[in-house]
Amino acid sequence: MKEALSGLPAVRDSIAATMPKSGVYLRADVPERLHYSADPRVGDIVIVAAEERSVVIPDRVPDRDGFNHGWDNAFASMGGIFLAQGPGIAGGQTIDVFESIHVYPFLASVLGLTPNADVDGRLEVLQPILRN
């Protein structure tokens, strides 16, 4: 097994040479801000496509342009809208940009559930919009 893993840097470098604008990482080297490398289902090599680029199998390219998601979350094009309304949520609030990892502990709080302690999200980020 260790011998198979020792060839991964060469494979990564080969892929990166064909995709110079994309991020090509060994699992352990995926940037921490992507919150991705700890998941056991993540492969040994991770490709983060350049903005507006896609990684596809040549004979399976879709007939129409339907790709608009999956790039580095630092790109503005990967941003989303977050709206919340209902009991437990203070009305008329506006908050700063935040990572979607914080939605889970927020929803758990609103629903009166105890969130899994092993998640990256923090309730404090969205707490300002909760009604006391």
pTM as predicted: 0.62
Domain chopping of the chain, boundaries: 2-77, 80-132
Report the Cα 24 to chain-centroid distance in Å. 15
Phi and psi, residue 28, nearest 5°: -70, -15
Separation of alpha carbons 101 and 22, rounded Å: 23
Ordered per-residue pLDDT tens for the chain, 132 residues: 565 678 999 999 999 999 988 999 999 999 988 888 778 888 999 999 888 887 777 787 777 666 556 678 788 877 888 999 988 899 888 888 898 899 999 999 999 999 999 888 999 999 999 987
Separation of alpha carbons 52 and 42, rounded Å: 22
CATH assignment, 2-77: 3.30.1360.180
Phi and psi, residue 128, nearest 5°: -60, -20
